[in-house]
Amino acid sequence: MDWKVGKARGGLKGELTVPPDKSISHRAVMFGAISGGKCRARNFLFGEDCVRTLEAFRAMGIEITREDDAITVHGKGLKGLTPPEGALYLGNSGTTMRIISGVLAGQDFTTVLTGDESLSRRPMRRIMEPLSMMGARIEPVEGADHAPLRITGTKAPLKPISYAMPMASAQVKSCVLAAGLYAAGRTSVTEPFQSRDHTERILEYFSADIRRKGLTTEISGPGELVPGDLEIPADISSAAFFIAGALIVKGSRLIIRNVGLNPTRIGVINVLKRMGGSIRILDLREGIEPAGDLEVRYSQLKATVVEEEEVPLLIDEIPIIAVASAMAEGTTVIKGVRELKVKETDRVRSIRENLSRMGIDAVEENGSLIIPGSSGRIRAAGLDSFGDHRIAMSMAIAALVSDGDCLIRDTACVATSYPGFLGDLEKVSI
């Protein structure tokens, strides 16, 4: 499936609600399933990735019912999962594969995890090493650093560890914390930089014995989780495309409703505001996950430097930040982009190649992505998603400020997180 997207002449205007938060939706299923009762999660994201998580736990004996936009997960406790009949196919969802591995390490059966071609190329050594230190048996079926993975559980408790992560990754941190629920004692994880904290928040809400101090999180096991109901806000990673679009398309004034504003997720807002973007929070609502409405207006952006320690807090938003940078005055430098090479695609290469076709000569030097601003001059071109949903949506926003029509190829991947994206873009484009 291809998209044809052309120049937006009157701005992005009106109101919009983007899909529910993907990260929180995943965790609602996973931790709800191993809790000791019912967890109702309202405004659940029924995108392909989250459905893979949902179906994986159904395959392990968890009842999950749906009513409109809500699901109810009937948890069976830490050890309540049952062996699936076959391998668990997780599609393109790296979040599912990495976090579920921590849960499966504490079960007393063997599971094989598989994924699509893209997921099967993504590095899994980063979870294999800490789980092995905890006494779990986790190994690649085909002898490489990738899926399929075979996880052989144990009836005995896992070993608690103190693990210093070599990279800041919410997925790896969450995997170790999930396994820590099954360990006999206190497990700690220390990050080099802060990453997303959705796992810590939901575990605290579910009454886990978890403590945070600086970049270290500790969890004590074994212990039961006490479930509670969740209200999932709109995904800031999905909102980011429209935030950037409204900032770079002249004449824009856009309201985006009920966006999740977790402090570990608003790095994209901080960077775009630093570039001169007019982004205003209209109604901040505190809770397990804070949320609010955003007002975004067209702004003349200026270049900035994104430091390496900022990257884990906006890792999924770098493609759209790159598009905004291409429209800014001056040259933007995004440091520490190596992790982007092992996402759904090599996002550094994908960004550079697409921007090059549009006349922007972005380069990679010493682990940094350097993007010269065009001051508003981008040419139309044929663009590729490279099978990556965030690249596809970022290029659609870039097309809005090009000098003609752009054809964006292979956009079916957008269904993993935002199947209605093109319709929403047409709704607010004037």
Sign (positive or negative) of CA dihedral 172, 174, 178, 184 = positive
Known active-site residue 108: no
- Of 413, 414, 409, 412, residue with least CA distance to 383: 409
- Of 322, 430, 318, residue with least CA distance to 373: 322
Q: Exactly one of 21, 197, 293, 316 is catalytic; which is it?
A: 316
In a 13 Å sphere around the CA of 414, the CA atoms on its Cβ side amount to: 26
- Of 230, 226, 220, residue with least CA distance to 36: 226
Rounded Cα distance, 257 and 195, in Å: 24
Backbone angles phi, psi at 415, to 5 degrees: -65, -20
Rounded Cα distance, 158 and 179, in Å: 8
In a 13 Å sphere around the CA of 147, the CA atoms on its Cβ side amount to: 24
Strands (E), 230-290: 230-231, 253-260, 278-281
Alpha helices in 315-388 (DSSP H): 318-326, 347-357
Judged by phi (left if over 0) then psi (alpha if -120 to 50, else beta), residue 198 lies in: alpha
Among all residues, which ones are annotated catalytic? 316
